[in-house]
Homo-oligomer: A and B are copies of this chain.
């Protein structure tokens, strides 16, 4: 396997054709990750959530990181990492058009609303239905990497010799002696 960086345009193209990622936010130095369903228009990632920890954290610090990946095999994959800023699409006149836009983008995925609306049973009791929030993440920075299987890479023997040699050296030096 080779690992190559992916251009910004390839990363954005990938984001517009996928829907599941993981969002990290933080509060007072404590990071937090959650899976997220989103729709991307090439500039922003739109999403929808009940009011929970991630919304509370992002209201307090809008800086987030989102990671999106597609694993075909362990040697054939793409992973894209976005640094972005949270903007809440509040239920106000000012945001009306943007909420409709977000909704239309998100509804292309028939299951986008499900994780927020299924019945959640916590410790034997149902969770009360909570306030819901639309938001978008402005994409400030995007980078991506792709794993390329040996069969598609041009320097196969070199790659294998290279990392195996390093592994042996490393383990020999650091572990067994």
Contacts and interface: CB of A to CB of B under 8 A. Distances in A.
Nearest to A176: B100
Contacts of A155: 119
Contact of A32 (B24, B120, B171): B24
A17 interface: no
Nearest to A91: B174
A162 B63 CA distance: 34
A100 B117 CA distance: 47
Given A22-B22, A111-B74, A175-B99, A117 B166 contact: yes
A65 B166 contact: no
A159 B113 CA distance: 14
Contacts of A31: 24-26, 31, 63-65
A33 interface: yes
A119 B83 contact: no
Contacts of A121: 2-5
